[in-house]
Each structure stands twice: as structure tokens, then as C-alpha cells.
Amino acid sequence: MSRILLTGASGLVGSHLLRMLIAEPRVSEIVAPTRRPLPPMPKVINLVEEDLTDALRPLQLPVDIVFCCLGTTRKQAGSKAAFVHVDYTLVVDSAIAGQRLGAKHMLAVSAHGAGVRSLFFYRRVKGEMERALQQQNWPRLTLIRPSLLLGDRLQPRPGEDFLAPLFRLLPGNWRAVAAKDVAGALMREAFSPARREINVIESAEIIRGR
């Protein structure tokens, strides 16, 4: 039985993943820190703090696997600095907490095109996040790189909604992918034998694996 640390449980991918983890018989408990309370659910230990770092710092429960589904946009965050705080700092903090609590497998949602040399700020930050996690020397690290995410968000993103019909038609790793399929890919990786120490899963592979 595995105890899970899940950050980003109230988001588009994280909410799908949370439901899958609850239904998974190999999962005993899910520690899910959030800014707003989650509805009562079996297996879920919901820690409510305005800042995720404040929720992670006092944690003492050992965990086996860490999932991080945190993500925002610069527009939604309000500034570049606020975006970096969510998509880089809080992801790295989640990983640090997981290592301290004994986790051996870190799984994080990144983005298609992530790279430290990207000309695009969003992808560059995602690339820097990936590099930071790789430098932590996890026994097993999984990075999921979806293209545009499809699904019903609590906070609408009009720009992404406008682009969704186009991205549904694009080939390969550019094709839009359903958030529930990203969550499914995370589950498959978490509960399958390791293929390699660091595994990067691109959008096309997520879609093929549905």
C-alpha cells in the first residue's frame, strides 16, 4: 500500500488524478495540501493553507510517491514573478518535501516544448523546473509534457478555449490532450515497473496510451 503526496489536487489534472487515486486499491492515503478546502473524500488528508509551502513544511507522515499537478499562466497568476512561484518554486518545494518524507518516485506535470533555452517564457520556466527536479537525483523521476489541456476548469482560460478546436487537429505532440488522459498517464507510470530513472512522456504518448 502506498501513501501519496499530491499537490495541485484542485486543478484540472489534479482533480482527475485525485479521483483515480481514491479508487486505486494500492493507495492507502492521499495527503493533499490545497488553498481551499476539498469536499470530504475517503483516503484524503486535506491540509488547507493559503501558501503551499506552509502546508508542506510541518509534514511528518512518510510518503512513497509524489505527484505535482501545479500549474497556472502568467495572466492568471498576475505577474511573471507570481507565475514562477507556482510553476517553479512550489513544484520544487513539493519535491523537496517528498524527498524529506521518504518518497522514491516524483511525477510532475510540465508542458510540451519545455526547455531552459526556449524563447518562450512559459516553456523556459517549465524547462528550469524540470532541470531542478533532475538535479535532485530522484531514484525515479517522471515528467509529463502535455500540449494544450482539454477539460472543464474552475477558472476559465478564454485564450486556451479559443485555441482548443485548432489544437485538436494538430499532429503529434502538438495535439491537445484531455486532462483525464494526463491523469491516466500519471497513474500508469506510478504503478508500473520503472523503465528508466528519468522518464519524459510527451503528449502523443499520452494520447496513444489512453
Amino acid at 114: A
The predicted pLDDT at position 5 comes to 99
Angle, alpha carbons 157-69-161 (nearest 5°)? 15
CB 35 within 8 A of CB 48: yes
Give pLDDT tens digits along the chain (210 positions): 999 999 999 999 999 999 999 999 999 999 999 999 999 999 999 999 999 999 999 999 999 999 999 999 888 888 999 999 999 999 999 999 999 999 999 999 999 999 999 999 999 999 999 999 999 999 999 999 999 888 665 565 555 554 545 555 554 676 789 999 999 999 999 999 888 899 999 998 998 875
- Quick one: which of 193, 144, 125 has its CA closest to 14? 144
| Nine cell digits for residue 198 | 528519468
CB 64 within 8 A of CB 78: no
Distance CA 180, CA 152 (A): 11
The predicted pLDDT at position 89 comes to 97
Tell me the domains of the chain and their CATH numbers: 2-203 (3.40.50.720)
The predicted pLDDT at position 114 comes to 96
| Nine cell digits for residue 1 | 500500500
